[in-house]
Amino acid sequence: MHCTNVENEQTSKSNRQSSETLPTIRKRIQKRTEKGLIDATFKQLYKQNKLDEIVTKAQENNESIYEEYDEIKIHGTTWKINDNVIIRNGDDFIEDYVGTIQKICSVLEPSSKKLICLCKVQWYMRKSDIIIHKPRARQWIGTQEVFSTKTNNYILAQTIMQKCTIVDCEEFVNMQKCDSTAYFNRLEWDVENKKFTNMNKIQLYCLCQQPWNPELNYIQCDKCKKWYHFQCVDLVIECYDDKDYICGYCN
Ligand SMILES: [Zn+2]
Ligand SMILES: [Zn+2]
């Protein structure tokens, strides 16, 4: 369903925020206000931040308090389904969340008539999420690396901060300009079993046999063409000046 305007054009000025954003929803609000439904349970779920339960409950509700959209406009920014986005982390944590919008919907809270705008987000895990379980991966995971998952949740649409791009590792390395909203993905993380699902498809490099880390410096052997970390082959990058390099195996 596309969120388009409907025949009902009369709006109160106090509703400007929502009239700019979602005309369809505004109509709903007026309709429901007349009916004066009372249900405190939605409020309780909201306070407990149980957003998935709010959606399930709203979908089961006979009164149509649940709507789905292709896009949503909040504070002048439009978010669409399939957008990759950065989501504010409520906890005082280092990294914000990254995810893909799968669904956009709204739930009209029956007692307060407050409109709850939600997005179902498919999560990407970040470095800090992974190294809790795989401490040794700290060496090869890039700070801009994200790990796809099969996990999704509803979030409040207003917690979305900005769009981001997620590319594969090769494209990321070749990017001319890397800003903080560019991420790369090459591995999937199994949230339940706390492991990578496709690690065997990733090429390993160097004597230490680790995946490529775009943030580290590598040197290629002129004979076998294999790549090594400077550190792992006892080279100091500052002292190295375009000389040929032959690795320990080929020497
Ligand atoms: Zn190495
Ligand atoms: Zn070699």
Which residue has tokens 């801009």?
A: 144
Residue 198 within any structural domain of the chain = no
Give me the domain span that covers residue 165.
13-191
Q: What is the pLDDT of residue 93?
A: 58
pLDDT confidence bin for 35, thresholds 50/70/90? very low
Residue 232 Cα to ligand 2 midpoint, Å, equals: 14
CA–CA separation, 155 vs 172, rounded Å? 28
Residue 76 Cα to ligand 2 midpoint, Å, equals: 55
- The alpha carbon of 161 is separated from its chain's Cα centroid by a whole number of angstroms, namely 11
Residue 104 Cα to ligand 1 midpoint, Å, equals: 44
Q: What is the pLDDT of residue 9?
A: 35
Residue 244 Cα to ligand 1 midpoint, Å, equals: 19
Q: Is the pLDDT of residue 26 over 60?
A: no
Looking at the CA of 221, which ligand is closest? 2
Which residue has tokens 């490099």?
A: 205
The CB-side HSE value for 56 (13 A sphere, CA atoms) comes to 6
- For residue range 126-185, what is the model confidence (pLDDT) as tens digits? 999 999 999 999 999 999 999 999 999 999 999 999 999 999 999 998 887 778 899 999
Amino acid at 186: R
Residue 222 within any structural domain of the chain = no
Number of domains in the chain: 1
SS3 of the chain: CCCCCCCCCCCCHHHHHHHHHCHHHHHHHHHHHHHCCCCCHHHHHHHCCCHHHHHHHHHHCCCCCEEEECEEEECCEEEECCCEEEECCCCCCCCCEEEEEEEEEEEECCCCCCEEEEEEEEEEEEHHHHHCCCHHHHHCCCCCEEEEEEEEEEEEHHHEEEECEEECHHHHHHCCCCCCCEEEEEEEEECCCCEECCHHHCCEECCCCEECCCCCCEEECCCCCCEEECHHHCCCHHHCCCCCCCCCCCC
Instruction: Provide the mean pLDDT of the chain.
Output: 83
User: For residues 111 and 161, which has the higher predicted lDDT (pLDDT)?
Assistant: 161
- The alpha carbon of 88 is separated from its chain's Cα centroid by a whole number of angstroms, namely 10
Looking at the CA of 250, which ligand is closest? 2
Residue 237 within any structural domain of the chain = no
- For residue range 179-225, what is the model confidence (pLDDT) as tens digits? 889 999 999 999 999 999 999 999 999 999 999 999 898 999 999 99
Over residues 9-24, mean pLDDT:
41
pLDDT confidence bin for 243, thresholds 50/70/90? confident
Looking at the CA of 251, which ligand is closest? 2
Residue 3 within any structural domain of the chain = no
Residue 88 Cα to ligand 2 midpoint, Å, equals: 46
Q: What is the pLDDT of residue 43?
A: 82
Provide the residues around ligand 2 (an ion) whose CB is within 5 A: 221, 223-224, 247, 250
Residue 197 Cα to ligand 1 midpoint, Å, equals: 23
Question: Over pLDDT 90: what percentage of the chain?
Answer: 59
Q: What is the CATH number of the domain that holds 26?
A: 2.30.30.490
Residue 107 within any structural domain of the chain = yes
Looking at the CA of 212, which ligand is closest? 1
Residue 141 within any structural domain of the chain = yes
- The alpha carbon of 17 is separated from its chain's Cα centroid by a whole number of angstroms, namely 26
- For residue range 52-78, what is the model confidence (pLDDT) as tens digits? 999 999 998 877 899 999 999 988 999
Q: Is the pLDDT of residue 95 over 70?
A: yes
Residue 6 within any structural domain of the chain = no
Q: Is the pLDDT of residue 239 over 90?
A: no
CB burial of residue 17 (10 Å; 0-12, 13-18, 19+) = exposed
Q: Is the pLDDT of residue 15 over 70?
A: no
User: For residues 47 and 148, which has the higher predicted lDDT (pLDDT)?
Assistant: 148
Looking at the CA of 207, which ligand is closest? 1
Q: What is the pLDDT of residue 91?
A: 67
The pTM for the full model equals: 0.78
